[in-house]
Chains A and B, each alone.
Chain A
Amino acid sequence: MEHLIEVTNVSFGYEDIPVLEDVSLNIFEKDFVLIIGPNGGGKTTLLKLIIGIIKPWMGSIHIHKDVSGRVGYVPQYASFNRNFPISAFEMVLTGCINTQNYFGKYKKDDIEKTGRILEKVNMYARRHENINNLSGGQIQKVLIARALVSEPLVLFLDEPTASIDITSKTSLMDFLNELNEKMAIAVVTHDPTPFAPTYRHIACLNKNLYFHERGELDTHVLEYVYGCPVELLGHGIPHTLLKKH
C-alpha cells in the first residue's frame, strides 16, 4: 500500500505548553486509522495539524501531491457559526470551495455534485431546510457531505459518534465502511468500540503517540497512555480492539 500522508516527528503546543511531542504517523491508501486517547491528549490538535489548520512547531507533515486539496474534514458538529443563516444545500456547496475558486460563482458541476452527495447521505429531501432546524445526526450528515463533495482521498472525522444516537451510529458505521472502499479514513474518538470491526491501524495519543497495526494493541499501552486501567472491548474477532490476552 502507498503512503498518502506522512507525519514525521511533529511537536506542537499552545502558548508555551506542549500538546504533542515527537509524533509520527502514516496514513496509507484506503487505510482506516483510529486515533484514541484521553481528553486533552491532543487528538483534535493532531487532526488540525494534518489538515493544515495549524502549523507544527517542529517536524514535517508530508501530504502526497495528488492528495493535496483532496482532504475531507468533518469537524465536531458545533464548531461552525450557528448564527449564519444557511440551508443544508448551500452548506454542502461550500465544500467545493478551494484556493482557485473562492471568488466568482459556483459551477454547474459543483451544484450537480452537491445534489448527488446529499442524496447519498439521505438528506436530499431536506436540502432547503435551514441548518439550525436539523437534528444533531442530520447536521453531521450535512458536514460529511460537505467533506465528500471535494472528492477526498482521505476523510478525517473528529468525534463523529459524539452527538448521535445508536441507530444513527450504526448507519454511520455502514456508510464509513462503504466509503472506505474508495478512500482512507481517519477517526478521532474517545469511543472506539463501534469502529472495532473495521479499523486497520490504531493510534493512542497522550502527548506521545503509539501506533499499532490491527490487533497489536495491548492493555499495557492503554494503561500507560490513559494513566489508569481502562476497559475496551477485547474479546474475539471481529469485535476486537485489543490483542488476545
Chain B
Amino acid sequence: MIFQAWFLELTLMPMGNILSYEFMQNAVLTGIMASIVCGVIGPFIVTKRMVFISGGLSHTAFGGLGIAYWLGVKPLYGATAFVLLSAGIIGNLKEKMSDLFIGILWAVGVAIGIIFIHMTPGYTPDLMTFLFGNILMIPRTDVIITFILVLIVTLTVFIFYRGFVTITLDEEYARARKLPVKALNMALIILIALSIVTLIQVVGIILVIALLTIPVAVAGEMSLNFKQIIWLSIGFGIIFCLSGLFISYLLELPSGASIILIGGMFLIFVKGAKKLFPRQRAIVSHEGSRTKCSTQ
C-alpha cells in the first residue's frame, strides 16, 4: 500500500514542480557545469594517464577543508587553496618521483584534514557532504563560483587545445617543436585542480575520480576521435548527473553515489553490449571475385 502511494506520487509529480525549488535549480545547473568540466578535462586525464594525479589532488582538498573549518572560513576556499598548492607541487615533481610523492601528498592531505577537524570544537555538519558530495545542498553563491571555474577551464582548453593535444600525444615531439612543454603541463595540472574543486561539490572528494573517468570510458567505447570523445563525455556526464540527481531525490539516496553508480552501470551495459554484438568485421564477397571489408 505504501509502495502504491509512493508510486502514485511519483507518476503524478510534474517535472516543472521539482525545478521550481531553488535547491533543485542549483543542483541541475551545477550538474550540467560539472559535466562540461569532466568532458573537457577528463579525456586529457585518461589519455595522459593522470588518473592517480587527479585522485591525489582531490584528496589533498581534505586538508584544506580541515584548516578552513578550524579557521571558520568557507570550506570551498580552503579546498581550492590546497588543491592549487598541491597542483604546484605535483607539476614540479620529476617524472621518476611523481608516483611516490603523489601517494604521499594524498595521505598527508587527508591526515592534515583529520587533525584540524579534530581540533575544531563542535559538530561539523557538512563534513560528509565534502567526502561524498551533495548536489542538493549547493548554495547559489557556490553555483556562481562554479560557473567562473568552469569558464576558466573551458576557455583555457579551447584556446590552447592544440598545445595540450600535442603534449598529451607526444611530449618529446612537442619539445622538438620548441613548445613550452613545462608550462603547458603545469597549466594542465592547474586546470585539473580547478575542475576537481568544481566536482568535489557534486560527488565529493572520494568519488571525483569516477566522474572524471566514467564518461570518458563510455565515450571511448564509441569513438576513436579525441574531439568526439570530448563532446560525448560532456553528454554522458549530463545524463549521469541529471538522472542520478533525479533518482537520489525520488528514492532519497545520497546524490553523489547515485550519479557514480548510474555511470558505472551504464559503462558495464555499453561494454557488455559491445561484447555481445561486436562490430561486423565480416568479409562479404561479391560474385566470388571482389572482396569487401567493412569495419565500421
A residues lining the B interface (CB < 8 Å):
48, 51-53, 69, 71, 73, 75, 79-81, 83-87, 90-91, 94-95, 97-99, 101-106, 130, 146, 150
- When C-beta atoms are compared, the residue in chain B nearest to A72 turns out to be B176
Contacts of B171 on A, CB cut-off 8 Å? Answer: 81
Please give me the 8 A-B residue pairs with the lowest Cβ-Cβ distance, nearest first.
A102-B163, A80-B170, A53-B175, A73-B176, A85-B224, A130-B224, A84-B169, A51-B176
Residues of A within 8 A of B178 (CB): 52, 69, 98-99
- Which of chain B's residues has its CB closest to A69's CB? B178
Nearest CB on B from A69, distance (A):
7
A-B contacts at CB below 8 angstroms, number:
89
Residue of A nearest to B223 (CB): A85
Interface residues of B: mostly helix, strand, loop or mixed? helix
B162/A103 in contact, CB under 8 A: yes
Q: Known contacts being A75-B173, A81-B47, A85-B223, is A97 close to B168, with CB within 8 Å?
A: no
A146–B177 alpha-carbon span in the complex (Å): 11
Please indicate the chain A residues that have their CB under 8 angstroms from the CB of B166 in the complex: 94, 97, 102
Q: Which residues of A have CB within 8 Å of B162?
A: 94, 97, 101-106
From residue 223 to 240 of chain B, which have CB atoms closer than 8 A to chain A? 223-226, 229
**Measured between alpha carbons, how far is A75 from B223 in the docked complex, in Å?**
27
On whether the beta carbons of A103 and B226 are closer than 8 Å, the reply is no
C-alpha gap A146/B46 in the complex (Å):
24
Q: Which of A83, A85, A99, A130 contacts B179 (CB 8 A)?
A: A99
A108 to B159, CA, bound (A): 18
Whether A103 pairs with B163 at a CB distance below 8 angstroms is yes
**Alpha-carbon gap, A106 to B47, bound state (A):** 22
Interchain CA distance A190-B185 in the complex, whole Å: 34
User: Could you say which residues of chain A place their CB within 8 Å of the CB of B223?
Assistant: 85
Q: CA of A90 to CA of B165 in the docked complex: distance in angstroms?
A: 10
Given the known interface contacts A99-B179, A106-B162, the answer about A79 and B225 at a Cβ–Cβ threshold of 8 Å is no
Q: Find chain A residues with CB under 8 A from B225 CB.
A: 85-87
Residues on the A chain within 8 Å of B182, using CB: none
Query: What's the least CB distance linking B178 to chain A, in Å?
Result: 5
Closest to B175 in A: A53
Which chain B residue has the least Cβ–Cβ distance from A75? B172
Once A81-B47, A103-B162 are accepted as A-B contacts, the answer to whether A94 and B169 lie under 8 Å apart by CB is yes
